[in-house]
Structure 1
């Protein structure tokens, strides 16, 4: 029997925060196909990510707030099997495109399992978990989506037109990822998980994120200049402005009272603003690159 608790731990709405990577890959995909777009979106956001969320929740057994759940319900045994069923469905849907895409879904899922499984538990290594999470949720996910959307193979992921934008997405995540851990220091400490944010401290986490936000901004501006898309830079900077304003306002409060403002509510607010603006930007970038709007006279 599937419990309501397990359905909540899948945290399907939380997939919204990872959608910018999908839309960025969609914007750069050379050969669009409606069915491939549908299957990649469903595979990633309705099955693969929820499977990862549920699997990690099963082994973490958090009692305090986690991403997407302010008060997580008690974990029940069916969550493990539900997450595995979702994982199996994700792989099966991957085969509707090709075996290469399905195998990439498999690799992503296995790495996400290693993140929390007690036998490996990547999560307990501060810099290792930070690098692996940012790499696989960024570059690897971008490459996986690109391969699926285009119906291509593994060799595609090392080509510059995939590698460079993929690494840009990793830069984004390497900056924001430690911020998602600032309210979990007590819970992580109890489990013995030395997350990067816990090692850096609350203020140190913000300085670290600030550096990567700057680096990411410079890298994206360079990317658009290299593609001869200087006009896109202003749209990109406009999309980043609300994110940076939120970040610096939050940071100003953190400086006065770190323990009070390193909270679930502030973190989810940062995630929501980032997801809203980045999704909007990459959807615009999709229209800009594909020139779909011009077809309709815009």
Structure 2
């Protein structure tokens, strides 16, 4: 959702109807289907995502995910554009390649990391921009800066979501980037990724002569940085603090701050 709102805030012109439809298709069909398929394949017994004790999935879940994906592509082609439908299809294919037992990119630290950083970062922003406007995003220098910023943002968040699942992932034959980095290494890597994210956001807004907006973003990011540093301190003292509860707290703080930030940018750019 943050990157979708970011794309809305930066669009030169927004089709209200297309923005609403694309939001609904992405967040109520594509994302639930992706999460559902991953749950069906992994059959997690320990805490996963936002669920501490997930129920066992049935075969019905698989067919529901296929139906949701198919419906999203059809509606996207009919109401938005064939380009948007194609973007959704690519996102679905990447999601399946990440989770499926036949390809299973998630079990490889680097390929799994790259596909998430690209498709949940830059590609999600691009896909959202296409859905919002119905047209392709012009890939000039400024667009490349913002796309890189989005991917580095996800690249920073992704290892943190894995930090409490090392044992569970290893039981399933999945060697995550977080496991390879270790607990302290995961936090250091995340800090580097967020620094790069901020660098490209700065270049993007400076190139648009909107440097003030960049500093507004930093105000919303302060609570994220503060909790991140506090959590790093706790984990440095005792690795058991790299647990589900603290991971979810980090996720909620980041989601609230980033969604609020980009919602404010929508107001600034389109209503003031």
For residues 82-231 of structure 1, the aligned pairs below 5 Å read 82-95=64-77, 96-153=79-136, 156=137, 158-231=139-212
Aligned partners of 1:159, 1:234: CA distance in 2, in Å? 23
Q: Is the 8 A contact 1:134 1:171 kept in 2?
A: yes
1:81 paired residue number: 63
**Preserved CA contact (<8 Å) 2:148 2:200:** no
SS for the counterpart of 1:201 is: helix
What displacement does 1:229 show?
A: 1.4
Q: How big is the shift at 1:87? A: 0.7
Per-residue CA shift, 1:222-270, capped at 9, x if unaligned? 3222221122132111111000000000000000111x11111111111
Cα distance between partner residues in 2 of 1:92 and 1:265: 38
- How many residues of Structure 1 are paired with residues of Structure 2 in the alignment? 271
Distance 1:244 1:93 in 2: 39
Q: 1:33: Cα distance to partner?
A: 1.3
Matched, 1:42 2:28: no
| CA-to-aligned-CA distance 1:43-70 (integer Å, 9 cap, x gap) | 1100000000000111011111111111
Which residue in 2 is equivalent to 1:5?
Answer: none
Deviation at 1:182, TM superposition (A): 0.4
Whole-Å separation in 1 of the counterparts to 2:139 and 2:217: 26
Q: Compare 278-287 and 229-238 and name the one that shifted more.
A: 229-238
The Cα shift of 1:163 comes to 2.9
Distance 1:279 1:229 in 2: 20
Q: Classify 1:50/1:206 alpha carbon distance in 2 versus 1 (closer, same or farther; 3 Å).
A: same
Unaligned runs of 5+ in 1: 1-18
**Which stretches of structure 1, 4 residues or more, deviate above 6 A after TM superposition?**
none
Match of 1:289 among 245, 269, 272: 269
Are the counterparts in 2 of residues 224 and 232 from structure 1 also a CA contact under 8 Å? yes
Q: State the match for 1:9 in structure 2.
A: none
**Cα RMSD after superposing both structures:** 1.2
Following TM superposition, by how much is the alpha carbon of 1:152 offset from its aligned partner in structure 2, in angstroms?
1.0
Find the aligned partners of 2:19 and 2:194 in 1 and give their Cα distance. 30
Partner of 1:57: 39
* Aligned 8 A contact 2:149 2:198 in 1: no
Give the whole-Å Cα distance in 1 for the aligned partners of 2:141 and 2:215.
24
Point out the more displaced range, 222-231 or 69-78.
222-231
1:157–1:163 Cα contact (<8 Å) kept: no
Matched, 1:275 2:255: yes
Q: What does residue 66 of structure 1 align with?
A: 48
Q: TM-score, normalised by structure 2?
A: 0.96
Unpaired segments of 5 or more residues in structure 2? none
Does the CA-based 8 Å contact 1:21-1:141 persist in structure 2? Answer: yes
